[in-house]
Amino acid sequence: MDAKTAARTTIDRERDGLVALSHRIHAHPELKFEEEQSSAWTAGALSDAGLPVETGICELPTAFSSKVGNGPLHIAICAEYDALPMIGHACGHNIIAASAVGAGLALASLVDELGITLSVIGTPAEEGGGGKVLMLDRGAFDGVHAALMVHPTPMEDLYPRVSAVAHMRVQYTGRESHAAIAPELGINAADALTVAQVAVGLLRQHLRAFDQVHGIVTHGGDATNVVPAHTEGTWMARSRSLGELEQLRPRVEHCFEAGALATGATLVVSDVCPPYAHMEHDHDLAETFRANATAIGRPESHDGAATFSTDMGNVSLVMPSIHPCIAIDTDSAVNHQPEFAQAAVNASADRAVAEGALAMAWTVIDAATGPLRDRLLNAAR
């Protein structure tokens, strides 16, 4: 039996368990850095199959790594499992986790034949926590030559447009006062946030086509008859690359400063997490994935159809990486809508679990046995 047939056989055998894992994570959504059950279930699916698993790595309780083999070519497959507030797995991370496990199980018995080391790395807090950035800095990807993952979207897309992004927390501090008896004695921190929002809205007409700014108010005051002394919001500024993000961010911060200047409130702007980088898709790996996805029967890719940000971008600046999007049927819903969360456990999502795992496994097999191997071995930075 050749390696690709063996990989398909394993995934066919494990399919029901992989789909069950996807549905179990989906039914118990957990937010960034709080994925205690989701990470344990994902790691447990590997350990139950006999793979070694190290949990709590990189000083992150919900991160893990499962490493098998000792070949010179080291490939990592990334698993995500965090959810969004209120709308759960509306980005389909349950599918990502189960696909990563499936690829890991398919390749585990082949590592010696392929001459590879394989790591399945559980990466928490993609949704605004920068788990992969922290794990990069703390050594989780040391020695890895290439990294892969798949992500569900409404359309197949091998080269999604991944923007660099800064996650900012904005805090204003003013002074309380009775809103009727002595409003003149108050400093209204809610007004400061309002001025900032208006300024950002006006700024948008002068931004480049690839720049985006958006945010929410997370605290707007405590009582209607008290002048708000403390307000807070979180904002995201996105641009095409880290360099262009550095040009955008000061313009956005000037809008926040305007709110403080206009009201007399004091301002603190801080980073929620490290900046996410743009994605450099490795062309050879992506085209290898395309060939395998086509062979499996996946839909044609709409390259560049999706635009989003991910901490996988930071990984891609360190090693050859791919982040292809795998289509699920969503009835026109897009990521981060409740309807997308509902679709993340339908029949097409279950197919994406198995077929995403198989496409990644076959891509690793081709990378390990073809001309791409030497290039990856020499690409380590």
Predicted pLDDT of residue 273: 98
At 64-112, the pLDDT tens digits run 999 999 999 999 999 999 999 999 999 999 999 999 999 999 999 999 9
**Rounded Cα–Cα distance for residues 163 and 238 (Å):** 6
The structural architecture, per CATH, of the domain 3-162+278-377 is 3-Layer(aba) Sandwich (3.40)
Coil vs helix vs strand at 84: strand
**Rounded Cα–Cα distance for residues 308 and 102 (Å):** 25
Predicted pLDDT of residue 379: 78
The H or E element that residue 369 is part of is: helix 347-369
Predicted pLDDT of residue 115: 98
Whether 1 shows a pLDDT value over 90: the answer reads: no
Whether 4 shows a pLDDT value over 90: the answer reads: yes
* Inter-CA distances, 379 with 67, 146, 241, 375, Å: 21, 9, 22, 6
Would you place residue 373 in the very low, low, confident or very high pLDDT band (cuts 50, 70, 90)?
A: very high
Coil vs helix vs strand at 340: helix
Query: What average pLDDT does the chain have?
Result: 97
Q: Using an 8 Å Cβ cutoff, are 273 and 82 in contact?
A: no
Residue by residue, what is the 3-state secondary structure of 208-257? CCCCEEEEEEEECCCCCCECCCEEEEEEEEEECCHHHHHHHHHHHHHHHH
**Rounded Cα–Cα distance for residues 165 and 239 (Å):** 6
Task: Please provide the DSSP assignment of 129-197 as one string.
Answer: T-HHHHHHHTTTTTT--EEE--EEESS-BSS-EE-EEEEEEEEEE-B--BTTT-GGG-B-HHHHHHHHH
Whether 381 shows a pLDDT value over 90: the answer reads: no
* Inter-CA distances, 317 with 122, 236, 282, 371, Å: 19, 21, 10, 22
> In 3D, which of 234, 209, 204, 205 has the Cα closest to residue 307?
209
The domain ranges of the chain are: 3-162+278-377, 164-271
153 phi, psi to nearest 5 deg: -145, 175
Predicted pLDDT of residue 380: 58
Q: How many CA atoms lie within 13 A of 76 on its CB side?
A: 27
Structure-token pair, residue 299: 């839909």
Coil vs helix vs strand at 63: coil
Residue by residue, what is the 3-state secondary structure of 92-116? CHHHHHHHHHHHHHHHHCCHHHHCE
DSSP state of 311: T
**Rounded Cα–Cα distance for residues 72 and 117 (Å):** 7
Predicted pLDDT of residue 97: 98
Structure-token pair, residue 237: 């500024």
Quick one: fold of 164-271?
Alpha-Beta Plaits (3.30.70)
At 136-152, the pLDDT tens digits run 999 999 999 999 999 99
What mean pLDDT is predicted for residues 353-377? 97
Predicted pLDDT of residue 322: 98
Provide the whole-model pTM: 0.96
At 27-43, the pLDDT tens digits run 999 999 999 999 999 99
The Cα angle at residue 69 between residues 66 and 74, in degrees rounded to 5: 80
Helix axes 36-47, 3-27, angle to 10 degrees: 150
